[in-house]
């Protein structure tokens, strides 16, 4: 196939993916299934237009794509956004993933007649939730902000854990002398190096972008990709977790901590969508539909056990001692969508030469399909049934503004019951209409309220007219020469809010 034909086929596949996305929205079917179907239709067992069976190339494609997806996940969240729920997100991402892998692995060994260590390897491949899939379902729901932040944090933190479990169990299979102690050392080394690399390059990149103005503005996405590549590459080179590093780098650049933050999120959102489409096309090309029947029954049972038993049990155990209600824990359990990650992880044992590992792709296929078909569409409905959606009740101590009269400035300390000050849903009992600017140093923001007033959130809350808030910000600026209060004043003096 010549260069022109490759470009033509690539364009046709992208057009088909876009068409599938539009069609899926109209018929209310998860778009990922249609991308998967496109890969199967054009593969060797379908029309035969594309014959692809190179697992090493699939792993390389998957690694790059997953790194881009994780970076976008961190960038779209921002550290200030998940800081209030970081402890719970870490528990779910690490302990929850480990428990899901162990329980799913035992079930896999029993169902497929595998040695226990092979079953644990398969359980690890299927244990991680998918960043893009979770973010996609959250965008279509009205889940409480605290639960949304928890799921966003978990989705980025559990992928590195699943990767290390897969690598560790492969080493254990290849070398029986390898054991749990060696896996523990692997975890400590890779996560420590990955965390240091992500923090170093992420925060250095954010600081550099705040201080250096880039012209033209199109260079900002170039800079963000450079930060992601440096964080990931440095960690991997030093035998650390590149996936953890790239996610932490995205968190550092997230929110409004850098100029053109919204444009960066839009750009990387498109890149992540393209990466996920590519991964599902690869899965479709690698899966042989004619061989699916041999593992169909057991795979469906395994997928059901992971979704209905292993994942809920892992969430309940991981969140012991955390302040989540029973209904909140149930929705967190149901939000564990599988997606592109098993596609990447299923290539590892094949490349390593593990016996009968090619079947793992077929098993992953059923797990991804069941998760996409069952969990995705039912998530918003279940959240409403469990009563974990909607906005908090208005603060009865705050009076609503009287029409025709400018109410006095309201100030008080921010309470933990007010949810996340970096992304509030209501302030003083009034719904937030738009977040105008987020505070870069601590959790806080300038927001427009549904009743026409503005508010400053953070350690101290203030609600009033633009003029009232400007006087409030000027007083704070005289007391502390902080860049934040200059940003507040600059926002309030924008033409849209100027009196």
Same-domain check for residues 321 and 455: no
Residue 31 has pLDDT above 70, yes or no: no
Q: Is the pLDDT of residue 56 over 90?
A: no
CA distance linking residue 92 with residue 151, whole number of Å: 9
Q: Which of 354, 370, 386 is the last residue of a domain?
A: 386
Together in a domain, 258 and 369 = yes
Tell me the whole-structure pTM to 2 decimals: 0.76
Per DSSP bridges, beta strands 445-449 and 426-427 are unpaired
**DSSP H or E segment with residue 55:** helix 55-77
Cα gap 264→216, rounded to integer Å: 14
Closest CA to 342 of 290, 303, 297, 295: 303
Note the Cα 163 to chain centre separation in Å.
16
Within-domain flag for 64: yes
- pLDDT band of residue 139 (cuts 50, 70, 90) is low
Domain boundary, last residue among 329, 352, 386 = 386
The answer to whether residues 291 and 414 belong to one domain is: no
User: Does residue 437 sit in helix, strand or coil?
Assistant: strand
Domain identity same for 356 and 251: yes
348 and 380 share a domain? yes
Sequence-distant (6+) residues with CB within 8 A of 90 are 153, 157
- If one counts every other C-beta atom within 10 angstroms of the C-beta of residue 399, the result is 12
- Work out how many domains the chain is built from and give that number: 2
Residue range 105-110: mean pLDDT, rounded: 94
Cα distances (angstroms) measured from residue 356 to each of 338, 346, 351: 22, 12, 11
Give the pLDDT confidence of 269-289 residue by residue, as tens digits. Answer: 888 888 888 887 877 777 777
Type and span of the H or E element at 133: helix 131-139
Domain boundary among 325, 354, 386: 386
Question: Are residues 446 and 380 located together in one domain of the fold?
Answer: no
Q: Is the same domain home to 427 and 364? A: no
Given a cut of 70, is residue 48 above it in pLDDT? no
What is the pLDDT averaged over residues 471-496? 80
Percent of the chain with pLDDT over 90: 31
What's the CATH code of the domain at 344? Answer: 1.20.1530.20
Q: Give the structural domain span for 101.
A: 52-386
pLDDT at residue 163 is higher than 70? yes
Enter the tokens of residue 360: 């793992």
Could you tell me which residue, 182 or 491, shows the higher pLDDT?
182
pLDDT classification of 366: cutoffs 50, 70, 90: confident
Same domain, 238 and 309: yes
Residue 23 domain flag: no
Residue-by-residue DSSP string for 272-337: HHHHHHHHHHHHHHH--GGGGGGTHHHHHHHHHHIIIIIHHHHHHHHTTTSS--HHHHHHHHHT--
In this predicted structure, which of 234-238, 252-256, 390-394 has the lowest mean pLDDT? Answer: 390-394
pLDDT in tens, 244-260: 999 999 999 886 667 77
Phi and psi at 400, nearest 5°, equal -70, 150
Give the range among 28-32, 55-59, 263-267, 446-450 with minimum mean pLDDT: 28-32
Cα 83 to Cα 160, 393, 426, 442: the distances in Å are 19, 23, 19, 10
- Do 358 and 415 reside in the same domain of the chain? no
**In the chain, % of residues over pLDDT 70:** 88
**pLDDT tens, 415-470?**
766 667 887 878 887 878 778 888 877 788 888 887 788 999 988 889 998 888 88
Position 400 scores a pLDDT of 44
User: Is residue 344 domain-shared with residue 420, that is, in the same domain?
Assistant: no
Q: Is the pLDDT of residue 30 over 70?
A: no
Are residues 420 and 454 both part of a single domain? Answer: yes
């Amino acid at each position: 196939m010549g260069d022109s034909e490759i470009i033509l086929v690539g364009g046709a596949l992208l057009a088909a993916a876009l068409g599938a996305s539009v069609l899926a929205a109209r018929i209310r079917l998860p778009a990922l299934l249609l991308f998967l179907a496109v890969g199967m239709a054009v593969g060797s067992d379908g029309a035969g237009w594309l014959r692809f069976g190179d697992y090493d190339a699939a792993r390389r494609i998957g690694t790059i794509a997953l790194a881009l997806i994780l970076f976008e996940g961190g960038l779209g969240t921002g550290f200030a956004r998940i800081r209030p729920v970081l402890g719970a997100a870490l528990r779910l991402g690490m302990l929850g993933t480990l428990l899901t892998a162990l329980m799913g692995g035992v079930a896999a060994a029993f169902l497929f007649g595998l040695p226990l260590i092979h079953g644990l390897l398969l359980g690890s491949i299927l244990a991680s939730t998918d960043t893009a899939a979770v973010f996609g379902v959250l965008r279509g729901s009205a889940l409480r902000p605290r639960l949304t932040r928890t799921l966003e944090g978990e989705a980025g933190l559990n992928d590195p854990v699943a990767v290390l479990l897969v690598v560790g169990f492969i080493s254990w299979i290849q070398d029986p002398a390898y054991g749990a102690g060696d896996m523990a050392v692997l975890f400590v080394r890779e996560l420590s190096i990955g965390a240091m690399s992500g923090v170093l390059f992420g925060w250095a990149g954010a600081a550099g972008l705040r201080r250096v103005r880039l012209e033209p503005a199109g260079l900002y996405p170039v800079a963000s990709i450079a930060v992601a590549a440096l964080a990931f590459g440095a960690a991997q080179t030093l035998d650390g977790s590149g996936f953890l590093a790239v996610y932490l780098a995205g968190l550092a650049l997230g929110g409004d901590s850098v100029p053109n933050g919204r444009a960066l999120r839009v750009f990387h959102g498109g890149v992540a969508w393209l990466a996920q489409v590519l991964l599902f096309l690869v899965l479709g090309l690698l899966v042989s539909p004619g061989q699916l029947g041999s593992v169909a029954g057991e795979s469906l049972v395994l997928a059901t056990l992971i979704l209905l038993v292993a994942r809920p049990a892992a969430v309940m155990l991981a969140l012991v001692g955390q302040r989540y209600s029973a209904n909140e824990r149930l929705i967190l359990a149901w939000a564990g969508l599988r997606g592109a990650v098993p596609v990447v992880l299923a290539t590892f044992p094949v490349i390593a030469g593990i016996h009968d590992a090619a079947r793992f792709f077929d098993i992953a296929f059923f797990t991804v399909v069941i998760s996409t078909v069952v969990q995705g569409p039912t998530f918003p409905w279940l959240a409403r049934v469990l009563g974990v959606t909607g906005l908090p009740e208005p603060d009865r101590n705050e009076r609503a503004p009287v029409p025709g009269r400018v109410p006095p400035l309201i100030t008080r300390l921010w309470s933990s019951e007010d949810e996340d000050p970096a992304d509030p849903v209501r302030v003083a009992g009034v719904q937030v209409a738009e977040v105008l600017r987020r505070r870069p140093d601590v959790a806080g923001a300038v927001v427009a309220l549904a009743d026409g007033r503005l508010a400053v959130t953070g350690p101290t809350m203030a609600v009033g007219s633009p003029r009232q808030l400007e006087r409030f910000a000027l007083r704070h600026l005289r007391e502390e020469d902080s860049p934040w209060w200059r940003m507040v004043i600059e926002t309030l003096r924008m033409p849209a809010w100027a009196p």
